[in-house]
Structure 1
């Protein structure tokens, strides 16, 4: 037994452990969910999908994410946080490989469903475990927690550096090669997660008070709006850049700017997240996210797209981190898995409905600009709702 295996012993290297733990959302979200946006234009052309069909793929992924979030707390109580993080990440790797095997709409839908379930298991359990590890150094806890939520940026950056150029070199219809390369990359990223001596934090499951929605319903509504709003930007922006004449280099640069911005998130927002125990920090960050989403409507110059990617990216990852900070401030440690799961469920419902709605609007109007407008408005509404959340008395 190592020091990290003892639930009463603080971890010796919390930053290192959380960075390793961040590989779970790197694979599950950064690659498992968002690499789809890079491959979507070629998939639409090759498989002759409508925007509604393209949106459905993210909807079924989000439905899996919602199902995984609903199941996580009970699975954690039975198997422990570390085991669920690892199992969820491995499921995401398997789903990526499955996407490379068939162009069948049903098979791809099943793969996206599995990816969503696995990502939720890894994210919710990983978030609770990262929060526990961060508490070992209270003065740095906000910074340490932000390291976990920068994980998806690694996946977005790595997929952005590879996929557009791979598709350009391999030619039309090569989307399945992209999925295969992403599966191999994700498998390599999963190895450190499997080998690290992650703390089990077995004490989190017992004696938790029941989570009640009423004190935080307005905050959950705001997070729901974030889930519904961000997904349109992250699903269709690469298609938007391509339709505006952007080639592989432009698509890669745009996507990499979103991913790279995640690395400055811990420094940009740590004071904001530490200043308020209610919903105001989430409001500020979500408001910035809405600004990033609306900027492409004012022009598609390289500079405007770069600013949009940076503003959206640096705030996108921080919104999720701010909700976990809210949980840490307002709930006892034993309640963290259940509270994080509740936040993830609200988010999951939003991102389940968002792609279908936006895809239908885009098909009806015939312009991707409408998708961005709906996205920005939804994010702005989420910011307004979050402002009404007040701090809770910790149970």
Structure 2
């Protein structure tokens, strides 16, 4: 028998404020790197492998954060963990601005990944708890949390390309300062929001998580992590290589972010199917389609459609896994189960960038690497279709 969910008088508003954690940790802390990657690679004389390593070390930090998340949440509670992890993400952005040293930048990316995972696991569990206070709207409310990264992607896409254009080559560090300021401002509402303690927000009880019943689902999510990160790491370089300037880069990146705002409405009925892996299969299949479109060329319309299709599904894939957890596990198991999903995802995105970067260096073609990315997403969608409901 599940304990009754605590009452939250304004659940949508609270979840939107809570979504600022992944806005900072993921939308800006992880993905803004793609916008400054071409300038950093040119200025610091990096290979594609070195450039990919920066996202690999970020993903390794994310994996480590996922592994420790449930312990930290158990000790400090959901809200406190989310707030402090978001502040750590802001610090990591400042570190990226102060040095071009590879070791310092690697540490900053590692810290950003570690803190983002804590914020994501804690935020996801808290968002699920808040959403559960309105069962009839729970899927929609939960989707609001996963729109958070899109806000960060949109904001960074409207700022970074034009800062680079305005200050010229070698101004990547100025972009990081701009991202630091933007993130600091976004963190303020998160620090002030009244997230009161409830059964899943304080006094967390660690529970055991059985891998075998969901092994195929975890494998599909692993492939999503490996596949999506290649697209998000190298697509700005792909747009630039095709002749796209600051406006084209900003438009492409912003379209990915804008698509997040329609995610709650587009997928709410699909998410209601998520007793097994069906919802994830549908959404991840659309994500694979969006990732595959650049294979056919650099035409602006094609790239715009790719960004919109990829973006509207990308944010929903993550939401579908939390919905899967909410349907299949009791509330006290949500932080542990979400952490397990995040670990599988983290392993995939740790391997993805460095492998795709190495493929690009070896073959000399970003198009080939993007083909591999789309194929991994499609395979993940196929595997998820075989996942059935957990338990009775």
- TM-score between both structures, scaled by the size of structure 1: 0.97
Deviation per residue, 1:155-177 (Å, 9 max, x gap):
00000001001100100000000
**Secondary structure of the equivalent of 1:340?**
helix
Which position in structure 1 is the counterpart of 2:58? Answer: 61
Q: What is the rounded CA distance, in whole Å, between the counterparts of 2:206 and 2:109 in structure 1?
A: 33
- Does the CA-based 8 Å contact 2:5-2:129 persist in structure 1? no
Does residue 169 (structure 1) correspond to residue 166 (structure 2)? The answer is yes
Deviation per residue, 1:121-168 (Å, 9 max, x gap):
100000000000000000100000000000000000000001001100
- Does the CA-based 8 Å contact 1:62-1:349 persist in structure 2? yes
Count of residue pairs brought into register by the alignment: 388
Does residue 106 (structure 1) correspond to residue 103 (structure 2)? The answer is yes
Q: What is the rounded CA distance, in whole Å, between the counterparts of 1:124 and 1:207 in structure 2?
A: 15
Alignment of 1:71-220 (within 5 A): 71-203=68-200, 205-207=203-205, 209-220=207-218
Shift, 1:221, TM fit: 0.2
Shift, 1:393, TM fit: 1.8
Cα distance 1:203–1:311, how it changes in 2: closer, same or farther (>3 A)? closer
Which position in structure 2 is the counterpart of 1:50? Answer: 47
- TM-score between both structures, scaled by the size of structure 2: 0.97
Q: What is the rounded CA distance, in whole Å, between the counterparts of 2:274 and 2:134 in structure 1?
A: 19
Does residue 359 (structure 1) correspond to residue 357 (structure 2)? The answer is yes
> Which aligned runs of 4 or more in structure 1 are off by greater than 6 angstroms?
none
Shift, 1:201, TM fit: 3.0
Structure 1: tracts of 5 or more residues without a match: 1-6
- Does the CA-based 8 Å contact 1:330-1:393 persist in structure 2? yes
| Residue 263 of structure 1, aligned match among 255, 261, 279 | 261
Shift, 1:209, TM fit: 3.9
| Residue 246 of structure 1, aligned match among 225, 244, 247 | 244
Cα distance 1:332–1:244, how it changes in 2: closer, same or farther (>3 A)? same
- Does the CA-based 8 Å contact 1:81-1:201 persist in structure 2? no
- Does the CA-based 8 Å contact 1:80-1:201 persist in structure 2? no
Alignment of 1:9-20 (within 5 A): 9-20=6-17
Q: What is the rounded CA distance, in whole Å, between the counterparts of 1:277 and 1:180 in structure 2?
A: 44
Quote the RMSD (CA, aligned, Å): 1.1
Which position in structure 2 is the counterpart of 1:350? Answer: 348
Q: What is the rounded CA distance, in whole Å, between the counterparts of 2:257 and 2:378 in structure 1?
A: 22
Deviation per residue, 1:325-352 (Å, 9 max, x gap):
0000000000000000000000000000
**Secondary structure of the equivalent of 1:24?**
helix
Q: What is the rounded CA distance, in whole Å, between the counterparts of 2:89 and 2:182 in structure 1?
A: 12
Which position in structure 1 is the counterpart of 2:24? Answer: 27
Q: What is the rounded CA distance, in whole Å, between the counterparts of 1:36 and 1:223 in structure 2?
A: 23
Deviation per residue, 1:90-124 (Å, 9 max, x gap):
00000000000000000000000000011001000
**Secondary structure of the equivalent of 2:98?**
coil
Cα distance 1:203–1:44, how it changes in 2: closer, same or farther (>3 A)? closer
Does residue 303 (structure 1) correspond to residue 277 (structure 2)? The answer is no
Deviation per residue, 1:345-388 (Å, 9 max, x gap):
00000000001110000000001001110100000010011011
Which position in structure 2 is the counterpart of 1:290? Answer: 288
Which position in structure 2 is the counterpart of 1:274? Answer: 272
- Does the CA-based 8 Å contact 2:31-2:232 persist in structure 1? yes
**Secondary structure of the equivalent of 1:100?**
helix
Q: What is the rounded CA distance, in whole Å, between the counterparts of 1:276 and 1:167 in structure 2?
A: 43
Which position in structure 2 is the counterpart of 1:4? Answer: none
Cα distance 1:392–1:374, how it changes in 2: closer, same or farther (>3 A)? same
> Bigger shift: 19-28 or 275-284?
275-284
Structure 2: tracts of 5 or more residues without a match: none
Does residue 39 (structure 1) correspond to residue 36 (structure 2)? The answer is yes
**Secondary structure of the equivalent of 1:277?**
coil
- Does the CA-based 8 Å contact 2:24-2:186 persist in structure 1? yes
| Residue 375 of structure 1, aligned match among 365, 373, 376 | 373
